[in-house]
């Protein structure tokens, strides 16, 4: 597998020296935001991680190589190419690599490549999960399966509120994935701090997060750990506003027959339009917030 993995010099040296490294996904660059905000946000996220003592490793597939650590030029390339870059989940990796193509990594593939490289902490926006109506569509994100089998801590703002949050939590419980609320007893719902659903445990410091994850590794337990970090209060959107926008976006997706991997990018773009761009601003702030916590946790983990 190492022959397919390409680490930047900075990431390789940091890992060799036992320094903290934080993985970042690339779907948020190509599919999550429009250009140039996507590139600007990606660079701000990387700088935030550096400012808090860790090394950023933006992960992507470029020219058939699994990249752990993208250059500024590669991030610009992914941002400009946008949705023309294939959104790559686990099933897509062998064909994309074999063909020498590009791919934007989801939570699933970012976890996979991070684990290959030896990176244990990953900051993202929100995870995928069980979609509304999954009892008939069977639309369940591969992110949940990856959390069940790959030893990476994922720090996010909760599950995207376009999902069925109750069923997502049930699925994670079945798979034995600990769902941690950072400074909260309630599962945050991406754009908003509140969902009405509880988490498994509340943890209030990066040091305790690091310790819990280290113990999980020491015990040889399979799978990752999900840390849900609420969007800062000043950027949180009213639940009623965002839920109405989600309902409208879902109805439009159903009317247009949009399914599969196209669903989430369509819904996020539609919600941005409905909310007059407020959801995009919230998305940027929650990613930066998660990057800060991920860097602090990665630093604490290297000291154990």
Is 173 marked active-site? no
Rounded Cα gap, residues 86 and 25, in angstroms: 13
Residue of 160, 261, 270, 272 marked active site: 160
Phi and psi of 102, rounded to 5°? -95, 150
Angle (CA) 153-154-159 rounded to 5° is 145
Q: Is 160 a catalytic residue?
A: yes
Please identify every residue annotated as catalytic: 25, 160
């Amino acid at each position: 597998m190492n022959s397919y993995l390409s680490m930047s010099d900075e990431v390789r040296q940091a890992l060799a020296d036992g320094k903290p490294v934080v993985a970042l996904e690339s779907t948020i660059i190509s599919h999550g935001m429009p250009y140039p905000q996507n590139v600007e946000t990606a660079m701000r996220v990387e700088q935030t991680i550096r400012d808090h003592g860790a090394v950023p490793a933006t992960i992507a597939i470029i020219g058939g190589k699994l990249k752990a650590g993208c250059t500024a030029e590669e991030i610009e390339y992914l941002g400009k190419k946008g949705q023309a870059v294939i959104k790559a989940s686990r099933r897509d990796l062998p064909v994309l690599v074999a063909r020498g193509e590009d791919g934007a990594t989801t939570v699933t593939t970012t976890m996979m490549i991070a684990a290959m490289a030896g990176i244990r902490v990953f900051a993202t926006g929100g995870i995928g999960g069980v979609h509304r109506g999954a009892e008939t569509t069977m639309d369940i994100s591969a992110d949940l399966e990856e959390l069940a089998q790959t030893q990476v801590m994922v720090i996010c703002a909760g599950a995207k509120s376009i999902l069925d949050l109750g069923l997502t939590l049930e699925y994670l419980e079945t798979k034995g994935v600990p769902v941690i609320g950072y400074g909260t007893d309630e599962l945050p719902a991406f754009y908003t701090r509140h969902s009405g659903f509880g988490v498994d445990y509340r943890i209030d410091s990066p040091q305790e997060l690091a310790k819990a994850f280290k113990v999980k590794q020491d015990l040889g337990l399979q799978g990752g750990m999900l840390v849900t970090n609420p969007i800062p209060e000043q950027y949180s959107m009213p639940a009623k506003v965002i839920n109405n926008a989600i309902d409208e976006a879902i109805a439009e997706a159903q009317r247009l027959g949009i399914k599969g991997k196209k669903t989430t990018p369509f819904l996020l773009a539609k919600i941005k339009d409905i909310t007059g761009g407020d959801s995009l601003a919230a998305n940027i702030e929650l990613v930066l917030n998660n990057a800060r916590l991920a860097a602090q946790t990665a630093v604490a983990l290297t000291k154990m």
